[in-house]
Amino acid sequence: MTIEFARNLSSQPLAPEKRAAALENPGFGRVYTDHMVTITWTPDAGWHDAQVRPYGPLSLDPATAVFHYGQSIFEGFKAYVQPDGSIKTFRPDANGRRFQRSAHRLALPDLPVDDFVAAADLLISTDRDWVPAAEEKSLYVRPFMMATEAFLGVRPANHVTFLVIASPAGAYFAGGLHPVSIWLSEEYTRAAPGGTGAAKCAGNYAASLLAQQEASANGCDQVVFLDAVEKKWVEELGGMNVYFVFDDGTLATPPTSGSILEGVTRDAIVALAAERGHPVEERPVSIDEWRAGVASGRITEVFACGTAAVVTPLGRLAWRGGELSIGDGHTGKVTQDIRDALLAVQYGHAADTHGWMHTVC
C-alpha cells in the first residue's frame, strides 16, 4: 500500500512572468517551486499526514532534536523536460534505496522506495511548469528527512518529518565546462571505517566545510579527501566521486567500501564507460599513483561526478608545498565523451537502454 497524499494547493503561486524570469537564470539552490511535500512519522502511527502543500517556512521548537544532534539525511536528483514535452527523472529508485540505507545508518525510520518516488513525482507534477525546458537546465529535487521531536535526550527521535522541495537549476558552471582545481586535504578527513561516510547525512557536509574553506584559501575550487586510516588512498570530493582515465583507455574509480558515498552518477558511468569501450576498474587509487601517473603520462584525465555538476574535469591538484597540472587546461576527450553520453540519456537524445529514466508526467 502506498501512502495517500492530501492536496493543499497554493492560493498564491508565483505569477507566470515572474516564474519565467526565475527560470531564465536559476543558478543553483536559490529559487524554489510553489509547493513542497511533507510526511510525518511516529512510532505508533508510522508514516501519516502525507500532503503536498504550499512551499513555506517550518515552525519548529528550539529543542527540536535535529538542531542539536544532526539526525538528518537527504537526497538529490533531477527532472528533465524530454523532446516530446514529457518530464522524466533519472534513477529515482536508486536514490530511494540509498535514502533507505542512509536512514538505517542514522537510526531514522524506513520510507518505502515507492513512497519516496511517489512523493517526488507528486511535487514535480504539481509544479511541472517549474521544470526548465532548456538544454543543461533541470529541476533539482531535494528529498530529506529529519528528527522533529522536541526533546534533548540523546536517542533516535520519535517524531520524524520527510520533505521534498524542488529548485530549478541552470548549467552548474555559468561560464561553460572548464577544468576545476582541487586541494588535497592532508589534515582533515571526511569519513572513517564504521562511520557515516556512505550515508548521505547532513553532518558529513558540515564536517567537510573547513577543508573546503582551506581549499578556497589556497586558490582551489574543491577539496579531495584521503582515507582516514592510512591517509594514502583517494576517496572522493566533498560531494562528488572521482574517476581516473589512463592512457590505454582504462578508467579507475575507488571502490565504495564503506567510507565513500555510492554515487548514482558514479554507478551510471561504470556502465556507460564500459559500453564505450573503456574497461572500468573499481579499485583503490593512491595519492602517489595519482601524482606519478600524471607525471609519467599514464593518467591522462581525472574527473569528478555527481548529480549537481554531472561530470567535471579536474585540471590541477594542489597540496601544501606543491601542485601539478592534469591535461592541457581543456576538458579531456574521454571526460567530455562520458559527460555527453550521460546528458544525452537524461535529456532524451539517446536511447535509454538501461531503463534509467522514470516518466513523471
Ligand X SMILES: *Cc1c(COP(=O)(O)O)cnc(C)c1O
Residue ranges that bind ligand X, judged by CB under 6 A: 76, 200, 236, 239-241, 261, 263-266, 306-307
CB of 307 to ligand X, least distance (A): 3
CB of 111 to ligand X, least distance (A): 17
Kindly tell me the burial class for residue 320, based on how many C-beta atoms sit within 10 Å of its own C-beta (0-12, 13-18, 19 or more).
exposed
Specify the residue, 185 or 307, whose C-beta has the smaller distance to ligand X.
307
**How far is Cα of residue 213 from the mean position of the Cα atoms in its chain?**
20
- The answer to whether the beta carbons of residues 35 and 151 sit under 8 Å apart is no
Kindly tell me the burial class for residue 185, based on how many C-beta atoms sit within 10 Å of its own C-beta (0-12, 13-18, 19 or more).
buried
- The answer to whether the beta carbons of residues 142 and 75 sit under 8 Å apart is yes
Kindly tell me the burial class for residue 217, based on how many C-beta atoms sit within 10 Å of its own C-beta (0-12, 13-18, 19 or more).
exposed
- The answer to whether the beta carbons of residues 342 and 280 sit under 8 Å apart is no
Specify the residue, 96 or 239, whose C-beta has the smaller distance to ligand X.
239
**Which residue in this structure is represented by grid cell 556507460?**
272
Specify the residue, 26 or 254, whose C-beta has the smaller distance to ligand X.
254
Specify the residue, 22 or 124, whose C-beta has the smaller distance to ligand X.
124
CB of 265 to ligand X, least distance (A): 3
Say how many C-beta atoms besides its own lie within 10 A of residue 87's C-beta. 20
**Cβ-Cβ contacts under 8 Å for 304 (sequence gap 6 or more):** 180, 182, 222, 236, 237, 240, 241, 242, 243, 311, 312, 314
d(C-alpha 128, C-alpha 3), whole Å: 21
CB of 216 to ligand X, least distance (A): 18
Specify the residue, 13 or 238, whose C-beta has the smaller distance to ligand X.
238
CB of 107 to ligand X, least distance (A): 19
Specify the residue, 50 or 164, whose C-beta has the smaller distance to ligand X.
164
CB of 146 to ligand X, least distance (A): 16
CB of 166 to ligand X, least distance (A): 15
**Cβ-Cβ contacts under 8 Å for 270 (sequence gap 6 or more):** 253, 280, 282
CB of 200 to ligand X, least distance (A): 5
- The answer to whether the beta carbons of residues 82 and 164 sit under 8 Å apart is no
Query: Torsion angle of alpha carbons 41, 44, 49, 50, nearest 10°?
Result: 50
Specify the residue, 19 or 358, whose C-beta has the smaller distance to ligand X.
358
The CB-based long-range contact list for 95-100 (8 Å cut-off, 24+ gap) reads 95/143, 95/264, 98/200, 98/262, 98/264, 99/73, 99/75, 99/143, 99/145, 99/200
CB of 263 to ligand X, least distance (A): 3
Specify the residue, 126 or 138, whose C-beta has the smaller distance to ligand X.
138
Specify the residue, 50 or 73, whose C-beta has the smaller distance to ligand X.
73
